[in-house]
Each structure stands twice: as C-alpha cells, then as structure tokens.
Structure 1
Amino acid sequence: MSAITTRCPHCKSLNRIPVNRLNEAPNCGKCQSKLLDGKPVEGTEENLSVLINSDIPVVIDFWATWCNPCVGFAPVFEDVSSDFTGKARFIKVDTEAQQQLATQFQIRSIPTIMVFHKGNRLDVINGALPKSQFTRWLNDALNKN
C-alpha cells in the first residue's frame, strides 16, 4: 500500500496521504487543517493497519453510536487528543460500521481503548474514564514503549 485515504476530522473531506509522508504532519487539501494530529481520525479497514504501524504511537477508541458510555467518553477522548498533539495519534473506530476491525481486534465490550506503537500493542482498557484518569492511564501506556 503506497497511500491511505483518510477523512479530515475538521471538514470531513477525503484526503489521500502517501504512506512515506505520514510522519510529516500532513494537512487537508481542502481546509489546510492537520489531518492526523489534534483531533481523532476515523479508523477504517483501509487506513488502520498503516496508522498502527507508523512511528507515532496510536490510541484507538473502539465505540458505537448506540453505546451511551461511548458517547459520554467521546468529548474526553477528543480533549485528550488535543493535549497529546505530536505525542500520539487518536483514532475512533465505529464497531458497527467497521465490523471486520471489531472482529480482528476481538472487541467484546465498548468502549475499548488500545494503544499501539510501531505495530505493537502497548496496553488496552475497557470502559469510559474521566479525563484525569484517562490521561494518567495513557501516560503510563505510552511509557511502556
């Protein structure tokens, strides 16, 4: 795979990013906002594998629209994503829309949060957390690197 397609978290337009340029902090071709940092990105079968294997740690929120704890945790996940700009990329995988990914990662309950770096899973936690606890857990997970 020489490129991935990802949706801009700001204007929702689709952008094609060459894999060899993922670490260059690419911008959206339409609105010029950062594509992969500062806000969670939509995880799909087409882009997740490449993002997980990149040099920058990846934090994935496996969620669904019908899940009340997931919906309540979403603002926390987004806040922390802006706090960790440049340290980690944040991805949201809708387990209803991406059922193959839910199966692949053996998601049994949601929300499930996983942290990866260079293809290796560093940590996983199930359930929604308040921002302070999530930030503490995430710092610990990233330090396992």
Structure 2
Amino acid sequence: MSDNNGPAATRTVRCANCGRTNRIPAAAQGSPKCGNCHQPLPWIADAGDRDFAEIAEQATLPVLVDLWASWCGPCRMVSPALEQVAREMAGRIKLVKVDVDKSPRLQQRFEVQAVPTLLILDRGTEIARQAGAAPPHVLRDWVEKTLASRAQPA
C-alpha cells in the first residue's frame, strides 16, 4: 500500500492456482502473473493525491477505482466485493482504492459527492461511474458490460 510519501509499495498475494506467494507492485506495466505457474494475479493497490497518476492513470489495464472513506459503512461493505471482482477478473482489471479523506484533490477532481463512488478508467480516461454499494455479481456485471462496450468497434 502506498503511504503517499514515496514510491508505490507492494502487496503480497497468494496465487489461487498454485498457492505461491507473490509480491505485486502498485505500479508497473502489463499485469501481474504468478512467478511460479504464470497465472494472472489480482492487482489491488492503494493510491492518493501524490501517486494516483503513476498507479492508476498510467496502467495499461482498465482500472476500477474505489473512492471510499473509512467512516462510511457502505464503503466497508463494498470493499470485499470489489476485491472479489478483482480476483475473479485477474489479468483483466486493476483495482485502485482511494481514501477521499486523505486525497481531497482526487475527491474534487472526480467531483465525488457520495461514497463509495466507483469509476472505471481506461488509460486514465473515465469511461464509467457508479455511486453506492452493490453485491459482487452486480459489480462484476457492471465492469464486464463496460469493458465489452468499450471493446466494440465505433
């Protein structure tokens, strides 16, 4: 997790396929894969005002952004659902969590009026937005439909 004071930190993730523990950087090109079996790993990172561009906007995968607050009950309820979606869609999306109380510039930039607010970014451009909590299957359907509509030729 990033402390917003220095380079993005890493998270340790256990591969669902082989059980090996892997270190996943908050910012990198491509998408993380297990060092042992090479299966896609879920990519979950924290970002703030100082490192959001590096962690979220420069990502080559679509990014699901969770704008949340620690005092928000629905935010605490939706967090495990988002992490489940990130696990299920490993290799296809990156989940970036932003605490709006610690990141007022991002809250203002994205005009967050209520939390949780969820965004999908494609190479830094917002392509979808949803406010409020939802169960994992609803969130996954929203992400899948957004990505599918983005993949359609214009």
TM over 0.5: yes
Which portions of structure 1, spanning 4 or more consecutive aligned residues, are displaced by more than 4 angstroms? none
Q: Please provide the CA RMSD for this pair.
A: 2.5
- Candidates 103, 107, 121, aligned match of 1:102: 107
Q: Following superposition of structure 1 onto structure 2, how do residues 55-94 of structure 1 map, counting pairs within 5 Å?
A: 55-94=60-99
How far did 1:16 drift?
A: 8.3
AA matched with 2:10: C
Residue 49 (structure 1) aligns with = 53
TM-score in terms of structure 2 length: 0.73
- Candidates 9, 12, 33, aligned match of 1:10: 12
TM-score in terms of structure 1 length: 0.77
Aligned partners of 1:53 and 1:117 also within 8 Å: no
- 2: CA distance, partners of 1:46 / 1:26: 27
Residue 23 (structure 1) aligns with = 30
Aligned partners of 2:62 and 2:92 also within 8 Å: yes
Residue ranges of structure 2 left out of the alignment (5+ in a row): 1-5, 14-22, 35-40
- Secondary structure of the residue that 1:54 maps to in structure 2? coil
| 1:54-84 deviation per Cα after TM superposition (whole angstroms, max 9, x unaligned) | 3211000000010000001111011111111
**Number of aligned pairs?**
128
Describe the shift of the 1:26–1:42 C-alpha distance in structure 2 as closer, same or farther (beyond 3 A): farther
Aligned partners of 2:10 and 2:26 also within 8 Å: no
| 1:15-48 deviation per Cα after TM superposition (whole angstroms, max 9, x unaligned) | 685xxx5226389xxxxxxxxx514210122322
- 2: CA distance, partners of 1:75 / 1:106: 24
- 2: CA distance, partners of 1:47 / 1:38: 20
AA matched with 1:44: G
| 1:72-117 deviation per Cα after TM superposition (whole angstroms, max 9, x unaligned) | 1111011111111110100000011111111111110000000011
AA matched with 2:135: P
- Secondary structure of the residue that 2:98 maps to in structure 1? strand
Aligned partners of 2:26 and 2:46 also within 8 Å: no
Residue ranges of structure 1 left out of the alignment (5+ in a row): 28-36
